[in-house]
Amino acid sequence: MKTWHNSLFAALLLTVVLIGCGGAKKAEPVAITGMEAYTDETLGFGLKYPSNWMLRKQAGAQAVVFSTNTAVERFSKYDAEGVAGAKISVSAMKTEGKTLDQIVADSKEFTAESYTAPEKATLGGVSGTKLSCSFDLGDGKFQSEKYFAMKDSMYVTVLELSAFGGTFDSYRKSFDEVIASVTLASAPAPKEAKIDTVKKEPAPPSETMRAISGNGFSISVPDNFTGTRTSVKGTLASASYVGDRLDCTVQVDVFDASKQQNLDKIVTDNKARYKATNATATTISGVKAYLINYSFAKDVNSRVYFAIKGDKMFRITLNWFKPMESVYLPIFEKSVASFKLQ
């Protein structure tokens, strides 16, 4: 890009020599009838610009304002002669780790002799740098001022004011108003995660059951429950089945009963553990069993079953949310009824 502009500049000078200096009509600036404000919605940079000029914008990148349609074409070619035009642009560039001085140096488009030394300047309330450029063309002097400033380390805001035909000074008052109006680009704040304010109720236990077997037993549990092997002290095997509510579970524990097969004594010894005064006799899978109802937590009811077959004791524990007992308990009782000792 820089090489192209250097060649172009040389060609422009040659054109000036060839066409000579004879009585060219003095260029007239384009009238400014008022000012409007522009703010980039992505990065926040913005400025005031002449309301009767042409605004072209690219969100998150730049806004360019041309004095006329013909100015658009001339700024694309930098013709040695033509209708005088002016341009105002504001852009946001990623710094990519470069310092402001490096960015200013890299921005030079024309030959080195067309630039004056960088100056300190204020843009958007921040100390920055001003880079001025000028050279003669067939219809008068081309002049440009670029201002550079950084609000954060990610983006540099660049304001450019340019005019052909020696008209730059005619826009000085309006250009100063533009400079004073500039707001700088900054990295957008991270978007906050949208919070779902609609409370989702836990799904009830499915009435469709799925069978699980192993470790000397089989049982059917709701098909929307997840089974997990658990570690319980003194057991040969343990598994817990849980749905959306963590206080509603089915737990099966298998113990070694080779040294104690007296179920009555086992239940009697365990009643105190469950703070129960009695145990109810029942059957599971056709063998003698006992159940104990208890509650250790507020709004959570529990029930435990004991049964022995061979040298193993099986303990089934049910926990359910008391306000939803009518939903959970019938399903859990179906699970117990499905329990088979193998």
Kindly state whether residue 204 falls inside one of the protein's structural domains.
no
User: What CA–CA distance (Å, rounded) separates 162 from 264?
Assistant: 100
Q: Are residues 94 and 163 located together in one domain of the fold? A: yes
Q: Are residues 132 and 224 located together in one domain of the fold? A: no
The structure tokens listed for 269 are: 């010894």
Q: What is the tens place of the pLDDT at every residue in 208-261? A: 999 998 889 999 999 999 888 877 778 899 888 988 887 899 999 999 999 999
Kindly state whether residue 190 falls inside one of the protein's structural domains.
no
Q: Which of 135, 161, 181 is the last residue of a domain?
A: 181
Kindly state whether residue 198 falls inside one of the protein's structural domains.
no
Q: What is the pLDDT of residue 74?
A: 78
* pLDDT mean over 295-303: 86
Give yes or no for residue 198 having a pLDDT over 80.
no
User: What CA–CA distance (Å, rounded) separates 288 from 300?
Assistant: 27
The per-residue pLDDT of the chain, averaged, comes to: 87
Q: Are residues 172 and 255 located together in one domain of the fold? A: no
Closest CA to 55 of 45, 109, 47, 82: 47
Give yes or no for residue 201 having a pLDDT over 70.
yes
Q: Which residues contact 198 (CB under 8 A, 6 or more apart)?
A: none
Q: Are residues 231 and 285 located together in one domain of the fold? A: yes
Q: What is the pLDDT of residue 8?
A: 43
* pLDDT mean over 296-321: 92
Q: Are residues 159 and 217 located together in one domain of the fold? A: no
* pLDDT mean over 315-327: 94
Please tell me which of 200-204, 283-287, 298-302 the model is most confident about, judged by mean pLDDT.
Answer: 283-287
Q: What is the pLDDT of residue 1?
A: 39
Q: What is the pLDDT of residue 11?
A: 42
Q: Are residues 236 and 135 located together in one domain of the fold? A: no
Q: What is the tens place of the pLDDT at every residue in 57-69? A: 888 999 999 998 7
Q: What is the tens place of the pLDDT at every residue in 42-57? A: 999 999 999 999 999 8
Give yes or no for residue 15 having a pLDDT over 60.
no
Kindly state whether residue 202 falls inside one of the protein's structural domains.
no
Kindly state whether residue 108 falls inside one of the protein's structural domains.
yes
Strand 209-214 and strand 312-321: the pairing is: unpaired
CA distances from 85 to 44, 218, 289, 291 (A): 28, 88, 99, 95
Q: Are residues 128 and 34 located together in one domain of the fold? A: yes
Q: Are residues 40 and 165 located together in one domain of the fold? A: yes
Kindly state whether residue 193 falls inside one of the protein's structural domains.
no
CATH of the domain at 265: 3.40.1000.10
Give yes or no for residue 36 having a pLDDT over 70.
yes
Q: What is the tens place of the pLDDT at every residue in 140-193? A: 999 999 999 999 999 999 999 999 999 999 999 999 999 999 999 998 877 665
Kindly state whether residue 171 falls inside one of the protein's structural domains.
yes
Closest CA to 150 of 101, 107, 109, 190: 101
Closest CA to 251 of 305, 295, 317, 312: 317
Q: What residues make up the domain containing 103?
A: 2-181
Q: Are residues 270 and 161 located together in one domain of the fold? A: no
Q: Are residues 66 and 137 located together in one domain of the fold? A: yes
Give yes or no for residue 14 having a pLDDT over 70.
no
Question: How many of the other CB atoms lie within 10 Å of CB of 237?
Answer: 17
Question: How many of the other CB atoms lie within 10 Å of CB of 171?
Answer: 22
Q: Are residues 128 and 275 located together in one domain of the fold? A: no
Sign of CA pseudo-dihedral 124, 125, 126, 127: positive
Q: Give yes or no for a contact between 30 and 68, defined as CB atoms under 8 angstroms apart.
A: yes
Number of domains in the chain: 2
* pLDDT mean over 325-337: 95
Q: What is the pLDDT of residue 314?
A: 96
CA distances from 84 to 28, 67, 138, 170, 263 (A): 7, 9, 11, 12, 106
Kindly state whether residue 187 falls inside one of the protein's structural domains.
no
**pLDDT: which is higher, 6 or 74:** 74
Question: How many of the other CB atoms lie within 10 Å of CB of 308?
Answer: 20
Give yes or no for residue 91 having a pLDDT over 80.
yes
Give yes or no for residue 118 having a pLDDT over 80.
yes
Binned at pLDDT 50, 70 and 90, residue 298 comes out as: confident
Q: Give yes or no for a contact between 146 and 154, defined as CB atoms under 8 angstroms apart.
A: no
Sign of CA pseudo-dihedral 158, 164, 170, 174: negative
- By CB neighbour count within 10 A (0-12 exposed, 13-18 middle, 19+ buried), where does 225 fall? buried
User: What CA–CA distance (Å, rounded) separates 249 from 80?
Assistant: 85
Q: Are residues 147 and 263 located together in one domain of the fold? A: no
Q: Could you please report the per-residue DSSP string of 30-51?
A: PP---EEEEE-TTT--EEEEET
Binned at pLDDT 50, 70 and 90, residue 10 comes out as: very low
